[in-house]
Amino acid sequence: MNRKERRAAAHQQRKIDRKAGFPSEPPQSPTPNEPATEKESAKPPISEAKLNSNRANAQHSCGARTEAGHAASSQNHTIHGLARHNGPFRLLPSEDPTDFEALKTGLVDEYEPATTTESILVIGMAESHWLANRAQRLADLCCETETGLVEHPEPFKLYLRYETTHRRAFHKSLNDLLKLRAAQRKAEVGFEAQKRKDEAQSLKNVEEELEKEAPDFADLSKNTELRDDISRLGMASLKKGPEYEALKEQFTAKWGPKKEASQSAAA
């Protein structure tokens, strides 16, 4: 009988005992007087002197205690810095910070980010491009200089995957930037179109109002000066402020029915 069968038989026997009214007793833990098992007896006990020595050694170094120490110790295992999930972007000691700043400045000058979101995308492009080039350099170190054969296949494949990942991240940031600007241009075009539509409607309303107030006006389409005054009055009507009221009074004084009648009489 194997172990599984023995456990099943014991479980079945406990069920029978419970139905018969006999309470099942849980397995008892070994008492201190019981002899230790073979596995426990194989481990030698630690001496008092060794225990005191371990406690004293533990007080000598407990790791970094300051913020600067924590920041330095967090980089102890940094080998290539290509895994972005391990922390923020950082330069390796072998890399020149001036070159990275030149790359970032060039991208900023080229795309001229106008908002915080655009700045984040442009900086992300610079970091992704830098990491992709770093992965390519590390992959080249895994190959022989003369023949180009791969000497270390495992790290070579790892660096190639990181290079592909960061190339994609660069193009994703670029596409997000272009989509964001396209949406902004679309919104601006829609705003300008709506603005022109509102101006045209306001001008039409002014013309209809003037035709009702002064039905004896001459043909509006043939009077250039009158059309210009109506256009200015229509633009001011969008704001509906003091400027509009003043222009309306001037327009009425200039082109009212009496003025039109006097001009017709003079003619």
For 130-142, write each residue's pLDDT tens digit: 999 999 999 998 9
The predicted-structure confidence for 160-188, as pLDDT tens digits, reads as follows 999 999 999 999 999 999 999 998 888 88
Contacts 24+ apart (CB under 8 A), 251-259: 252/213, 254/229, 255/210, 255/214, 255/217, 255/226, 255/229, 256/214, 257/213, 257/214, 257/216
In sequence order, what are the residues at sequence separation of 6 or more whose Cβ sits closer than 8 angstroms to the Cβ of residue 50?
none
* Proportion of the chain above pLDDT 90, given as a percent: 24
* 3-class DSSP assignment, residue 150: strand
Which pTM value belongs to this model? 0.49
Least confident of 48-57, 189-198, 256-265: 256-265
Asked whether 130 and 103 are in contact (CB, 8 A), the reply is yes
For the cut 90, the answer to whether the pLDDT of residue 113 exceeds it is yes
3-state secondary structure of 143: strand
DSSP lists the bridge partners of residue 150 as 143
pLDDT at res. 198: 75
Lowest mean per-residue pLDDT among 24-38, 194-208, 216-230: 24-38
Q: How many CB atoms lie within 10 A of CB 92?
A: 12
DSSP string, 23-88: PPPPPPPPPTTSPPPHHHHHSPPPPHHHHHHHHHHHTT--S--SHHHHHHHTTTT-SS---GGGSS
What does residue 166 show for φ and ψ, rounded to 5 degrees?
-75, -30
Bridge partners (DSSP) of residue 143 are 150
Q: What CA–CA distance (Å, rounded) separates 144 from 151?
A: 7
Which among 217, 194, 196 is positioned nearest to 207, based on CA atoms?
217
DSSP state of 93: T
Task: Name 257's Cβ contacts closer than 8 Å, sequence gap at least 6.
Answer: 213, 214, 216
pLDDT > 60? residue 33 = no
φ, ψ for residue 150, nearest 5 deg? -80, 120
Crossing angle, helix 116-141 and helix 153-213, to 10 degrees?
A: 160
* Both tokens assigned to 69: 């120490």
CA-wise closest residue to 115 among 173, 189, 181:
181
Does 242 score more than 50 pLDDT? yes
**pLDDT at residue number 105:** 95
62 or 118, greater pLDDT: 118
**Does position 82 have pLDDT exceeding 50, yes or no?**
yes
Q: Which of these, 138, 142, 140, 131, lies nearest to 164 by C-alpha position?
A: 131
Per-residue pLDDT tens over the stretch 5-25: 888 888 887 877 776 665 555
Q: Where are the alpha helices (DSSP H) in the chain?
A: 3-20, 38-42, 48-58, 67-73, 97-111, 116-141, 153-213, 224-237, 242-255, 257-266
One-letter amino acid for residue 197 of the chain: K
